[in-house]
Amino acid sequence: MQPIRQTEAAECGLACLAMVAHHHGQQVDLASLRRRHPISMKGATLKALIEIGAAMGFGARAIRCEPDELKELKLPAILHWDMNHFVVLSKIRGAFAVILDPALGVRRLRLKEIAHSFTGVALELSPTDGFQRKREKNLLKLSSLVSLRRPVMGALAQAILLSVIIELFVLASPFYMQLVIDEAILKGDADLLTALAIGFGGVTLFQILAGALRSLTLQHVSISLGFDMAAKLFHHLVRLPLDWFHKRQVGDIQSRFQSVQPVQDFIANGAIAALLDGVMSLATLALMALYAPWLAAIVVASVAIYAVTRVASLNLSRKVAGDYLINDAKEQTRFLETLRAAQTLKLAAAEPEREGLQRNAIAATLRSSSRAAHVQIGFQAISQTLTGVTDIVVVFLGAKAILSAEMTVGVLTAFIAYKGQFSGRIVSLVENLIAWRLLDVQMERLADIALTPREAKIDEAGFDSALDGRLEAKRLMFRYAPGEPDILRGADLKIEPGEFVAIAGPSGAGKSTLLKVLVGLYPATYGEIFIDGRPLSSWSPRALRRQIGVVMQDDALLQGSLIENIALFDERPDMVRIEAAARAAAIHDEIMAMPMGYQSLVGDMGSALSGGQKQRVMIARALYRQPKLLIMDEGTSQLDVANEQAINTALRELQVTRLVVAHRPETLRAADRILVLQYGVLTPVQASAPPAQVG
């Protein structure tokens, strides 16, 4: 069995089901399973795995057992691990067990070691009559990433033509040595030697110029392809649903996006090299056969051994390459998390502990890199051994042929040169073919981005009109995944234009989730949402969101000036609107007091702004769009009472509809109406009610 590595943070159970299904002949990939059986960030319970397994055609049996009873399980079986994880027990041999871990890969553990992690719960899966042996894999095609436009095709054709010219000169070089030895040196013809030197010197100069031009052409192709591929992938990435980002680690997303680079390099360089290597190996083989067929057969046998060995180890190469990419992504994630949590770590004096975790991540990456290097070194050693042995045999047999007058010194010299070219070309061809096959590893990682469906209707045309600010929700229900408890259980809401409605409720009741459902970031499980009397689904998502101001708890400032942040990098920022938004957010005077004013720089990780100032900049960003509907999730939680009152007064004058999640009594008192979200239902409360009752 081969391990299937989880992509999302909480889909270990789904990956285990995929591994067991593969073992029984149902070749279904994790992406297909994920689309049919989505898992929330809370992960999957054993009950959920049993239900998903039944849908896949498995009969499941949950068993409670001790580590020494694992040998009695029907393997492969799923084990509950470390109280928060699932793994597959693949086989047991003697005192050792093979564990397929969706997070770590293949692990070989002693049965005594398993007791430290195994929780005592196992899941046996047996195919039922409804189980189907099939292959269901959504593979990312190279053509969907690469756009070979006419200029790029022309540049590739030019590069191939130049390469052919260069290779013809390379083929002529051994012939030069043969003429020098057999015709000039042995016959003492100095004039011929001079002529040959001048002629082949000119050939070499032309070869150098052609090589430089080819390199420039390939660089142009590489840049063009790299830009097109990265731009196309990023275009798709930013249109993915919000929960896709929530279920993944930032370092893993970054690593997957960077997988574009090796694909680009192979197309621009490896593909052309493989084509030329194939042609040139045939040409040099033909020339060797003309010189000495029996020596050519020895050379062919040598490179055939290398090629068979290299191809036979393809799965090993794929495994070490995949392990390196996964461990490198984990290291990047941990590093980025450390940077973002620098203040938290310092306040907790947790730098040594974090350093230890980072060291472990670096060590895992380096171990993976070392294993990949060991594989490469091993094949280099095999290649060098075969080349050395072949050289000795060819020289020995060639020298005997010279002694018996069956071959001249020049012919042997030329043959050895062609032999070197042939061996080098075949090795290069095999390595490029292996690199092409290993692109599967990169393409699988890119597929998680490229094949994930975009947010519904994100680029589709829909109703696009100026908002009045009326918002209504009927019987709204939402849960993060099938089998999960409902967060919203029939919530009803109606807000008239210009009204200020506050939502209170206990932490974890789903208030932030409700706001994300109302603006379409999360699709409602059931119920209807209306904006100005029209169903939310009939609106163009982008056109609607441009007319809604939203401030969420986890919003961030972006690297740039205050102008860029308030205007959200508008190509033509309107300073009048920027200042008006800042005044309404009660931040204008403080910005003007800064040395650089609105040109002051801020970023996602650090700035001279306080928490309250950042909140007011985010409110100004929401108001810059001149929205008719403003939605805020604890948007004023860090403000003093005076600033909050100033903002409320300004917003009331703007006659903007407001829906605000809040806990603070000052915010609740300012609202026209108060609703409490509890047990998934919105209940109205009188605005004059004491804060303790509202909470």
**Tens digits of per-residue pLDDT, 605-634?**
656 788 889 999 999 999 999 999 999 998
Instruction: Give the chain's end-to-end CA distance (angstroms, integer).
Output: 54
Q: Which residue has the tokens 């060995």?
A: 309
Catalytic, out of 4, 12, 114, 321 = 12
Residue 342 scores a pLDDT above 90: no
The letter for the amino acid at 247 is K
* Average pLDDT over every residue of 126-133: 89
| Sheet containing 657-661: order of strands | 548-551, 629-633, 657-661, 500-504, 673-678, 681-685
Q: Which of 171-175, 506-510, 580-584, 640-644 has the lowest mean pLDDT?
A: 171-175
- Report the distance separating Cα 483 and Cα 280, nearest Å: 60
Question: What is residue 485's predicted lDDT score, i.e. its pLDDT?
Answer: 86
Whether pLDDT at 576 is above 90 = yes
What is the C-alpha separation between 502 and 140, in angstroms, rounded? 46
Average pLDDT over residues 573-599: 93
Euclidean distance between CA atoms 325 and 260, whole angstroms: 13
| C-alpha to C-alpha distance for 84 and 6, rounded to whole angstroms | 14
**Spatial CA neighbour of 226 closest among 201, 190, 263:** 263
- Confidence bin at 692 (pLDDT 50/70/90): very low
* pLDDT at residue 20, as a whole number: 94
Structural domains of the chain sorted by starting position, each given as residue range(s) with its CATH number in brackets: 12-136 (3.90.70.10), 142-450 (1.20.1560.10), 471-694 (3.40.50.300)
Q: Which H, E and C letters describe 451-494, residue by residue?
A: CCCCCCCCCCCCECCCCCCCEEEEEEEECCCCCCCCCEEEEEEE
pLDDT digits (tens, 9 = 90+) for 199-236: 777 777 877 877 788 778 877 777 888 888 888 999 99
Q: What's the confidence (pLDDT) of residue 127?
A: 92
Residue 690: what pLDDT? 44
**Is 12 known to be catalytic?**
yes
Query: Whose structure tokens read 């398993």?
Result: 114
In this model, does residue 636 exceed pLDDT 90? no
Q: What is the mean pLDDT of the chain?
A: 86
Interatomic CA distance for residues 233 and 110, integer angstroms = 44
- What is residue 691's predicted lDDT score, i.e. its pLDDT? 44
Contact yes or no for 615/635 (Cβ under 8 A): yes
Is the pLDDT score of 688 beyond 60? Answer: no
Asked if residues 38 and 44 have their Cβ atoms less than 8 Å apart, the reply is no
| 300-341: pLDDT as tens digits | 999 999 999 988 888 888 888 888 888 898 899 899 889 888
The pLDDT tens digits of the residues spanning 103-125 come to 888 888 888 888 889 999 999 99
State how beta strands 500-504 and 673-678 pair.
Answer: parallel
Residue 577: band (very low, low, confident or very high) from pLDDT cuts 50, 70, 90: very high
DSSP string, 641-686: HHHHHHHHHHHHHHT-EEEEE---HHHHHH-SEEEEEETTEEEEE-
CB count in 10 Å sphere of residue 2? 13
Higher pLDDT: 692 or 20? It is 20
Summarize pLDDT for 436-465 with one digit per residue, the tens. 888 888 888 898 899 888 888 887 776 677
Phi first, then psi, for residue 500 (nearest 5°) are -115, 110
- pLDDT of residue 470 exceeding 80: yes
pLDDT of residue 30: 86
- Checking phi first, is residue 317 left (phi over 0); if not, alpha (psi -120 to 50) or beta? alpha
Quick one: tokens of 308? 């068979």
Report pLDDT digits (tens) over 46-92.
Answer: 888 999 999 999 999 999 988 888 888 899 999 999 988 999 999 99
- Label residue 661 by pLDDT band (50, 70, 90): very high
